[in-house]
Amino acid sequence: MFSDRKEYDDFWDFKAMLPPKKKSAVFSRDTEAVEIDLDADVENNNVASYRIPARKNGQARVSQHLPTLDQSYQPNNALIKSISVYRWPSKYTFYERFLANAQKYHFFAAEECEYVPFFSYIPQYIQLTKEQLNYYLWWRENQRRGVKIKTDYSYILLYIYEIINIPDLIEPSVGIILLSKLYLDWRGDFPKLDKCMPDWICDYCCIYKLDPPFDLLQGVVGTLQSESSFREFFLPFNCNDEDRLQLALLSLGCTYNWRKSKFYNCDTSSLFEKHIPTCFIYVAKKLSLTDDRLKMDSSSLPALKLTRDAFFGSLCAYNVKRRIDIEYYSLRSSPQIRELITNIVKFSENQIRSIAHIRSRFSSVNLDDRVKKAVLEYFAPYLAKAKKETIPDSEPEYMKQYESATSGLTPERAREIEKRSWYITEKLVEAFEEDDALSDETYDTNNLIDSTVRNDVTDSSLSRADTARIGLKHLCDSDFESFDTWAKSLHMLPDSAVEFINEQFYDEIGDICIESDGDRYRVIEDYLDDINKLI
Amino acid sequence: MDIARNEKVPRRILASLINSLVAGVVPRIGAPYIAIGREDEISALLSDLENVSEGGSSMRFIIGKYGSGKSFLMQLIRGFSLERGFLTADCDLSPERRICGSKGTGIATYRELMKNLSSKSSPDGGAIQSVIAKWLSNLQLEVAAEGLSPESASFAERLSAKIFDVSRSLQSQIGGFDFAHVINTYYKAYLADDDTKMASCLRWIRGEYSTKTEAKSALGVGSIIDDDNWFDYLKLMAVFVQKIGYRGLIVFIDECVNLYKIPNRISRENNYEKLLSMFNDTLGGRSPGLGVVLGGTPQFLEDSRRGLFSYEALKSRLSDGRFANTAFKNLSGPVIKLRRLSDDELYALITRATKLHAQYYDWQARITQDEMRAFFDTCLNRIGANSMITPREVLRDYLSLLDILRQNEEATFDKVMEGQLITPIQTESDEANEKQYQSFAAEDIEI
């Protein structure tokens, strides 16, 4: 079958059977035109076969898709070991037009004009109408001068993007000031800035080797620390200040925000602000010799690496965007340290509550005895002083309205009061008056009985009182059957009949004379004598 | 003291009154006879009753410290209301009885109110049955008065028509349709002598059905009185009792401090919201014939963290106006603030108690004015008395002293009070008064 070995081996060579691989063209995004000379090298006048020459600088203009190191340095922050800044690895260019426009408009002068609203999720110059552009420039001019006029969030973002993207025109040391002022001026009106500016300021400083402008941002350091994804960057300390290191430990390591305690108010805030940090420093210093967890030098903390995408979420041109690698010492990585710091703070707050005479306490704060002892040692003089100054329970102001108007006894006045009170007693006990008779819409039992009493039971000449006496007599004799018959004859239920009798004789006895004992109606024994006189 | 000379307190009332005072409880009967001070407050509440009887509605908060006389004032007005032809219902709130709540705490209040529904002839509660019975028998009398014979068919027709007139007029109220249906069912059961059905109707009115299914199968009504709607039915009851001849329905709810003590803020605010709704309904004229009186402590009203004033809507309605002044009273608002009785008023109370005790036991109290004064000073000079002394304690101790003197001929005031007398600090006016009263003896006290 196969004449020779080679032919035999070639049988298993599938390369001939496979379709040829298409060679992928070197693809450039460059759309600039290239001049060609059709007269030369044309075979048989067939343009299609003419080979288009390669771009002269084409290869150089395509971005490397491998990151290249821009710079690496150690910042002036004891918690950050090193920062490495890389050019952004990308095959493509982006936001070049924005960059060009930013460079162009940076020098544009502004004229005063009316406010024009503008909205865009990613604002760019090409989205602006002429009026919007004029207003943006006018607003930017005022912002540069420190004058605050009406603006929209999109205008602010546009200016931020401008500052970020033209570091060659805006010196970074000036740029960070502009960014910080912009943030401080508008964060009240646009709280969304709190979400993005801390990270952008951090990236800007890292890229251009700047220290955070704490003198400007001191009022918002708390927000910067809480909102930034890299909190360690905004800790205001240097390597030689041990107290500040410990405060940094407190700030980053404590999971409990004592400023949000329900007992943190205008009366107690000074106690909290004074004692929590001071007590922590005291305890940390006292225990650092024996407890490695509280040692404050960087070597005792775990080192972590963080990669940041600079200006994430913003509009950043390809040649400005950077990748930032940060090596730092983390205060947050150890749950044990964080638990210890948090418990120290909570135990300290318990002592502050004692000083402020607040009963409520954090329960079961899990602390080592040595740590508790250190905290109590710090608070001892303050607690002793607070005990001496026990605040007496004072009655609220409104209770004065419930005290008697006069004090002291004057028997004559008392006699007058007692005498006068009989008038109110009379008013309260006087019998039901005829003038207050029930209205026509309601039922007047007495009148009805006058008209409906049957002759075979009672004499028509009998008065209401006489009629009632009959019923009363039956009850006095405990003749309940006769009483029921008598009530029925008056077309009344026993309840109504009893009420009728009571009403008839109330004036004479001064009280009801029949009451129910649950089963039957009975005459009240206290008035038996009076009743016997009546019947 | 002309009126007092001729005033005869009925013996039964006097017995109940004296027994209550000796026991240190608020007297249910006879309270007008020891109503010392509080004239303005009583007048304000009486005018509310007048308003209710004319078809209006009222709501008052009686606020005072423990022992200031809140419950006494409420009992006083309750007794007066009963005598004047009102129906009354009273209850004390507790952890199990609230204005609003899940697990039946709201309906428990309503049930207690219905259980304690009282009329003049049933002053101790349980009047619902007698009220309806009286109404039916009065209707029968009315029909008979029109000349129809009770045995005739037209009598029954006419009677039914009158009952349906009343029940139809209730249908415009919330829950009125079912209420009218129950009343009609009660009447039919009454005619058929069906006690079981009548009892079911009363159960429904008292809010004792816990499920709609049960009520539906027993009475054919699709709704029950529950935690959410009990006040609507109370309003309906007020309209009903006015239609059947009473002047109105007065509801007394005491110990409202239990709402202040509810630990859960949401639950507490739900109760306050319900109170607000009741307040708006009554003072907005949407509860004809209904008067509501609530008793509570100053903390219940004015504590800005847990009291009624912590609920802004109630605070704006219940707080004093700009011109409020501790020196002047203003009783036109919904809140009556009870000051502690002054020393003069307490002393007047002792004087009254002496007279009542003497009348009841038919004896001359062997106690002089000086001795009464000495007793009073002893009470006032006890530790804490200046803020904590209450009429309850003073009366209880004083009547106990009188009882000892009455039952022991050889006992004298000095011997009984031995070791407890404190010489009061005499002022110039005291000395002058003492000279004036030195000639007084017990016989001079007129009854």
Estimate to the nearest angstrom the gap between the alpha carbon of B193 and the chain centroid: 35
- Cβ contacts (< 8 Å) between A502 and chain B: which residues? 120-121
Pick among A263, A424, A456 to test the B interface (most B CBs inside 10 A): A424
User: A402 vs B339: CB contact, 8 Å cut-off?
Assistant: yes
- Cβ contacts (< 8 Å) between B148 and chain A: which residues? none
Question: Which residue do the tokens 């010196």 mark?
Answer: A171
Percent of chain B surpassing pLDDT 70 = 89
Question: Which residue do the tokens 């009841």 mark?
Answer: B360
Computed over every residue of chain A, the mean pLDDT equals 80
For residues A89 and B217, which has the higher predicted lDDT (pLDDT)?
B217
Give the mean pLDDT of A189-218: 92
Residue A29 in this model has a pLDDT that exceeds 70? no
Q: What is the pLDDT of residue B363?
A: 85
CB B119 within 8 A of CB B82: yes
**SS3 of residue B387 by DSSP:** helix
Does B8 contact A at CB distance below 8 Å?
yes
DSSP E strands in B53-159: the ranges are 57-64, 87-92
Residue A140 in this model has a pLDDT that exceeds 90? yes
Q: What is the pLDDT of residue A489?
A: 81
Q: What is the pLDDT of residue A380?
A: 92
Q: Which of these, A246, A238, A235, lies nearest to A293 by C-alpha position?
A: A246
Q: Which two three-digit tokens encode residue A11?
A: 């049988």
Give the mean pLDDT of B296-323: 88
HEC string for B327-356: CCCCCCCCEEEECCCCHHHHHHHHHHHHHH
C-alpha–C-alpha distance, residues B401 and A22, integer Å: 123
pTM of the model: 0.57
User: A512 vs B120: CB contact, 8 Å cut-off?
Assistant: yes
Give the mean pLDDT of A204-225: 87
Give the mean pLDDT of A399-410: 81
Q: Which of these, B80, B77, B87, lies nearest to B119 by C-alpha position?
A: B87
Q: Which two three-digit tokens encode residue B10?
A: 């009925």
Report CA-CA distances (Å) from A25 to A21, A50, A295, B268: 12, 16, 60, 77
Q: What is the pLDDT of residue A392?
A: 57
Report CA-CA distances (Å) from B300 to A117, B260, B307: 53, 5, 5
pLDDT in tens, A321-358: 999 999 988 766 677 778 888 999 999 999 999 998 88
CB A494 within 8 A of CB A483: yes
Q: What angle do CA B292, B294, B298 make, to 5 degrees?
A: 150
Q: What is the pLDDT of residue A292?
A: 62
Residue B226 in this model has a pLDDT that exceeds 70? yes
Distance of residue A529 Cα from the nearest chain B Cα, in angstroms: 12
C-alpha–C-alpha distance, residues B242 and B244, integer Å: 5
CB B389 within 8 A of CB B345: no
> Which letter does DSSP use for residue A233 in this model?
G
For residues B342 and B271, which has the higher predicted lDDT (pLDDT)?
B271
Q: What is the pLDDT of residue A452?
A: 37
CB A424 within 8 A of CB B42: yes
CB B300 within 8 A of CB B260: yes
pLDDT in tens, A80-137: 889 999 998 777 788 889 999 999 999 988 899 999 999 999 999 999 999 999 999 9
Q: Which of these, B294, B245, B255, B18, lies nearest to B120 by C-alpha position?
A: B245
ipTM above 0.95, yes or no: no
pLDDT in tens, A114-129: 999 999 999 999 999 9
Q: Starting from the edge strand earliest in sequence, which strands make up the sheet with B249-254, in order?
A: B87-92, B249-254, B290-296, B57-64, B335-338
User: B36 vs A509: CB contact, 8 Å cut-off?
Assistant: no
In terms of DSSP bridges, do strands A80-87 and A322-329 run parallel, antiparallel, or are they unpaired? antiparallel
pLDDT in tens, A249-291: 787 788 888 888 888 888 888 889 889 999 998 988 887 766 6
| Residues 42 through 71 of chain B touching chain A, CB cutoff 8 Å | 42, 46, 63-65, 68
- How many CB pairs below 8 Å do chains A and B form together? 185
Give the mean pLDDT of B255-260: 94
Neighbours of A268 (CB within 10 A): 17
Q: How many helices (H) and strands (E) does chain A have?
A: 19, 6
**SS3 of residue A60 by DSSP:** helix
Give the mean pLDDT of A429-436: 48
Residue A67 in this model has a pLDDT that exceeds 80? no
Calculate Rg over the CA atoms of chain A.
Answer: 49
